[in-house]
């Protein structure tokens, strides 16, 4: 596919256009209108996988953050543009094909290279990779409601095909990376979108030598780098850096101090509170979309267990589900999650030599091994509830396969039994986690 002539504005032209679009200086002659929508895009990939892995370099997440300049017309920017950040909305898309992939590797600053389950500004959305292109195109085609009303007053025969879209300015950090992912993996065409008026690269706007990283710019403008390398979070941080840069340039040109940038982080915290008030946020796992009483992680804590025992009368059981998954380098391993079961059952489990869990107590009440789980003898449900001390991962959260170096090699006893659900070559094991 031939290269598309869409490139970011230079530093001088970009700053002039940014001040023009934020209406921080008198109107200037520009090909970019002032009435625009900033759309920040950040793409994460499985670049941390070995080159021999089939998914190496594949897109894993795309974050999209939006700021409409119409929303900030009547609002004072505040210190570092912090008052404008409350109008940012964000989305976080994850590819279903790579949802189970994760890593514990760190970048050169010590931050995890994978934070796919740590979206701070809403709920993550999983979808097949082949749906990403149309989804991003739709996000870049924003209907112009004001123009539609004006056109509707002039002509009542206007059809949906005549609807108009807002002018969009793409915002990125290190444009060449996002450009390569969009074109090469999604066959993305900027001309096909038809709404892109310009591109701003925060790295270019700030560069006076070596290209600064996003972490450096966040530190400059007082933005806490919480859960970076999450596409949704980084798209918001990139947009916040852009706004702070524009306000700083405006103040500097007027001979004013750029002031204290701590207001940016405070405003982002308020934005999270607003989102939490709308869709809910768990105080335990910090994820959106559910309350603490519905949190599977919290139900495994002592407080959660006591509440569950009071609310249930022996008619539920939580099972630990393990599945065969593909590890790095073509090896196999296991992934862990939990599932509910409606009826009380009595299971004995064999974890074999592939998994490592906190200790379980046997039927006599004595502690099992500290590095591997023991069998659960048949006993009343209420007794087993107190004899379990396992904390697995949570449904809906990508679980990381356990490396062979972390596995426990312990032979199962003869009395242990296994419940398997086989499908093809994959094996699924269900282990009773706690009985209510």
| Average pLDDT estimate for 285-298 | 78
Whether 275 and 330 map to the same domain: the answer is no
Distance set, CA 40 to CA 92, 201, 323 (Å): 12, 10, 37
**Which of the two residues, 6 and 87, has the higher pLDDT score?**
87
Whether 285 and 309 map to the same domain: the answer is no
Whether 26 and 156 map to the same domain: the answer is yes
Q: Which of 246, 271, 293 is the last residue of a domain?
A: 293
Is it the case that residue 393 has pLDDT exceeding 50?
Answer: no
Whether 314 and 361 map to the same domain: the answer is yes
**101 located within any domain:** yes
Q: How far apart are the first and last CA of the chain?
A: 59
Domain enclosing residue 375, as ranges: 296-435
Whether 122 and 218 map to the same domain: the answer is yes
**4 located within any domain:** no
Please give the angle made by the CA atoms of 423, 338 and 56, to the nearest 5 degrees: 65
Q: How many domains does the chain have?
A: 2
What CATH number did the domain enclosing 117 receive? 3.30.420
pLDDT, tens digit (0-9, with 9 covering 90-100), for 153-174 = 444 433 344 458 999 999 999 9
**271 located within any domain:** yes
Q: What is the CA radius of gyration of the chain?
A: 26
Q: Which of 274, 293, 312 is the last residue of a domain?
A: 293
Whether 96 and 72 map to the same domain: the answer is yes
Whether 97 and 228 map to the same domain: the answer is yes
Whether 267 and 217 map to the same domain: the answer is yes
Whether 332 and 278 map to the same domain: the answer is no
Res 288: pLDDT: 85
Q: Of 12-16, 105-109, 117-121, 358-362, give the lowest mean pLDDT range.
A: 358-362
Res 31: pLDDT: 74
Question: What percent of the chain lies above the pLDDT cut of 90?
Answer: 44
Whether 136 and 87 map to the same domain: the answer is yes
pLDDT, tens digit (0-9, with 9 covering 90-100), for 219-241 = 999 898 899 999 999 999 999 99
**2 located within any domain:** no
**6 located within any domain:** no
Give the pLDDT band (50/70/90) at residue 49. Answer: very high
**Which of the two residues, 16 and 257, has the higher pLDDT score?**
16
Res 424: pLDDT: 45
**392 located within any domain:** yes
Summarize the chain as % helix, strand, coil (round to 5).
35, 20, 45
Orientation angle between helical segments 231-253 and 262-279, nearest 10 degrees: 140
Q: Which of 231, 261, 293 is the last residue of a domain?
A: 293
pTM greater than 0.85: no
Is it the case that residue 69 has pLDDT exceeding 90?
Answer: yes
Whether 315 and 331 map to the same domain: the answer is yes
Res 79: pLDDT: 86
Res 175: pLDDT: 96
What distance in Å separates the CA atoms of residue 99 and residue 126, rounded to the nearest whole number? 8
Res 298: pLDDT: 78
Is it the case that residue 358 has pLDDT exceeding 70?
Answer: no
**5 located within any domain:** no
Give the pLDDT band (50/70/90) at residue 368. Answer: very low
Whether 255 and 306 map to the same domain: the answer is no
What distance in Å separates the CA atoms of residue 244 and residue 206, rounded to the nearest whole number? 11
Give the pLDDT band (50/70/90) at residue 353. Answer: very low
């Amino acid at each position: 596919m031939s290269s598309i002539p869409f490139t970011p504005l230079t530093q001088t032209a970009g700053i002039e256009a940014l001040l023009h679009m934020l209406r921080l200086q008198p109107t200037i002659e520009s090909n970019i209108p002032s009435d625009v929508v900033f759309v920040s895009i950040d793409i994460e990939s499985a670049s941390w996988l070995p080159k021999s892995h089939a998914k190496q370099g594949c897109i894993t997440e795309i974050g999209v953050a939006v700021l409409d300049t119409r929303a900030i017309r009547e609002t004072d920017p505040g210190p570092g543009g912090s008052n404008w950040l409350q109008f940012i909305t964000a989305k976080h898309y994850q590819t279903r094909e790579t949802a189970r992939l994760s890593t514990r590797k760190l970048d050169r600053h010590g931050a995890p290279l994978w934070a796919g389950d740590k979206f701070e500004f809403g709920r993550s959305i999983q979808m097949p990779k082949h749906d990403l292109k149309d989804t991003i195109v739709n996000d870049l085609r924003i209907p112009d409601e004001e123009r539609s009303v004006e056109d509707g007053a002039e002509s009542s025969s206007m059809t949906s095909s005549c609807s108009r879209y807002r002018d969009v300015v793409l915002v990125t950090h290190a444009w060449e990376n996002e450009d390569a992912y969009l074109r090469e993996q999604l066959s993305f065409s900027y001309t096909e979108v038809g709404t892109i008026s310009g591109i701003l690269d925060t790295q270019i706007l700030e560069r006076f030598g070596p290209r600064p990283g996003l972490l450096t710019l966040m530190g400059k403008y007082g933005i806490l780098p919480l859960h970076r390398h999450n596409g949704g979070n980084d798209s918001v941080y990139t947009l916040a850096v852009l706004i702070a840069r524009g306000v700083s340039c405006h103040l500097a040109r007027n001979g004013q101090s750029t002031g204290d940038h701590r207001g940016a982080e405070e405003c982002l915290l308020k934005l999270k509170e607003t989102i939490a008030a709308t869709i809910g946020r768990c105080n335990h796992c910090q994820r959106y979309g559910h309350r603490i009483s519905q949190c599977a992680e919290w139900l495994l804590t002592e407080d959660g267990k006591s509440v569950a025992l009071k609310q249930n009368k022996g008619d539920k059981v939580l099972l630990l589900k393990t599945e065969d998954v593909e590890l790095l380098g073509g090896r196999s391993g296991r992934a862990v999650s939990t599932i509910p079961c409606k009826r009380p059952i009595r299971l004995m489990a064999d974890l074999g030599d592939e998994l490592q869990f906190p200790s379980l107590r046997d039927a006599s009440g004595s502690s099992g091994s500290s590095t591997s789980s023991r069998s659960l003898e048949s006993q009343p449900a209420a007794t087993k509830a107190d004899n379990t001390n396992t904390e697995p991962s949570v449904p809906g959260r990508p679980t990381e396969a356990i490396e062979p170096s972390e596995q426990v090699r312990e032979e199962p006893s003869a009395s242990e039994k296994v419940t398997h659900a086989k499908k093809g070559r994959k094996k699924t094991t269900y282990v009773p986690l706690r009985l209510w």
